[in-house]
Amino acid sequence: YLSLISSLDYPIPPVYLLLFLYIFIFLPLYLAELNLRSHHSESANLLVATI
């Protein structure tokens, strides 16, 4: 298993997989929060209050 990983040119460490998951999950949430904040709506304040 280790020799298989070392034979690869660009092995993917678990850290990069976690980072990819974080980006994949939190980027849409971040964009949604920015979208709500730009409207200055009451639902945005409610959303922030619940979190």
Given a cut of 80, is residue 34 above it in pLDDT? yes
Q: pTM for this structure?
A: 0.39
Q: How far apart are CA 7 and CA 10, in angstroms?
A: 9
pLDDT at 9 (0 to 100): 62
> Is 47 in contact with 36 (CB distance < 8 Å)?
yes
Residue extents of the structural domains in the chain? 12-50
Give the residue-averaged pLDDT of 4-29: 77
pLDDT tier for residue 51 given thresholds of 50, 70 and 90? low
User: Which stretches of the chain are assigned E, i.e. beta strand?
Assistant: none
For CA atoms 33, 38, 43, 49, give the dihedral sign. positive
Q: How far apart are CA 38 and CA 32, in angstroms?
A: 10
31 vs 50, which has greater pLDDT?
31
